[in-house]
Each structure stands twice: as structure tokens, then as C-alpha cells.
Copies of this chain bind each other. A is one copy, B any other.
Amino acid sequence: MQSKMKKNIIFLRLFPNEDVNIQLKNACKINNVKTAIIISGIGQLKNVKLGYFKEKGNYAEEIFKTPLEILSLNGNICRANEGYITHIHAILGDENKNALGGHFLEGIVSVTAEIVLLKAGINVERKDDSQTGLKMLYFK
């Protein structure tokens, strides 16, 4: 992964076999991010794991092994005690141009990925929510 920051824009280029979540957290660490917003994401991934939230403790997960184009990445990355927490939703495209998507749990770069983050000076934290089992976002 290579990243370059200018003002509050961080541009990332990922390489084959890199893990998207790990590299996003690395880029945030390198560039001293508190909270970052994903403002752009394209490329192609393999072994993508997506989720759909049903109810507490019930996340419908699915793995897509075939390479899929990244059509959109949306979400944010915020600092937590142990490093960073990502909350990302992805839309992917197959060879027939069908779009699929969900809560992005995992994905490995197959060809390339070009992702752009916007550094936000807004401090947020995620707290466990007993009703949903999710880590809900709050402003500090």
C-alpha cells in the first residue's frame, strides 16, 4: 500500500493480495487520523465477505471468492483503544454487470484499489449497544 496525504485528503493505492481493512487502518495510523471518511473507492477485490444485519447476534454473512469490481466503498474509520474501527458498506460488480453489496467485513485486492479518505477533525467513539449487539457511533 502506498498513501499520500495533502491537506485533509489521503489517497491510497493498494496492491494485489493486500487486505483492505488492514491497509485502511495502516493508512490512518501513518497519517495520524482520528476519524476518516471514505469519499471514493474503486478497484477489484477477491474473497469478499459481506454481511446483512438481521437482529442481535444474527448477521447474514456471505463470501464471494470470484474477483468483483469495487463499485463503491462508503463508511468511516475511527480511532479506538486498540487501534481503529472500520464501518464500511461495499457495492461490488460481477462480470455480468450485476451489482451486489452489504456490510463490508473482509476483502483482498485482486488487481488494484484506489481509495480516497477525507480526514475529519470530528472525534467519534463506538460503544457496545446491548439491544442490537452493534458498536454504535457517538460524538465525543
Contacts and interface: CB of A to CB of B under 8 A. Distances in A.
Interface residues of A, number: 62
A50 interface: yes
Mostly, the A contact residues are: strand
A71 B102 contact: yes
A19 to B, nearest CB: 19
Contacts of A73: 74
A116 B5 CA distance: 20
Interface of A: 2, 4-9, 11, 13, 35, 37-42, 44, 50, 52-54, 60, 62, 69-76, 87-91, 93-103, 111-112, 114, 116, 118, 120-122, 124, 132, 134, 136-139
